[in-house]
Amino acid sequence: MQRASRLKRELSLLTTEPPPGITCWQNESQLDDLRAQILGGADTPYEKGIFNLEIVVPERYPFEPPKIRFLTPIYHPNIDSAGRICLDVLKLPPKGAWRPSLNISTLLTSIQLLMAEPNPDDPLMADISSEYKYNKQLFLLNAREWTEKYASQ
């Protein structure tokens, strides 16, 4: 019951006061199956891209973080080809930094920030990470190409 009322509150906040460049909604009528869109930030290789995400809210939410993954392919050192995201706030302690005080809006904002500032020292994609570290121009080129190919409307 607590989970349902919290989710309703979070969704209505996301609808009335969404973070800049982020939208989130219920997928059909299921409260625990959400979709989100993140606009690629200005001055990033993802600029003008629209990235779709799937959010699955677990039974134990907010004591367990939602499972979030990209549905739109993205060229990024911390996001793999299945759309999984390597980000500490998406994992429970001791390895992660999830806390029940965090919410879906905070997570989506953190993901948006990760898109703008990849963390090459904690990669899911080692090859993209080394490209980011040692050949930034090639990384930016590839990321822009992927954005044009997969995230343009």
Of the candidates 46, 49, 45, the one whose C-alpha atom is nearest the C-alpha of residue 37 is: 49
**Residue among 34, 68, 86, 114 flagged as catalytic:** 86
Annotated active-site residue 86? The verdict is yes
Beta-bridge partner residues of 69: 54, 84
Contact 107, 65 (CB under 8 A): yes
The enclosing H or E element of 143 equals helix 136-150
**For the residues of 124-138, what is the DSSP string, one character each?**
S-HHHHHHHHH-HHH
Structure tokens that stand for 31 in this block = 């409260």
Give the C-alpha separation, 29 to 103, whole Å: 20
Residues with a catalytic annotation lie at 86
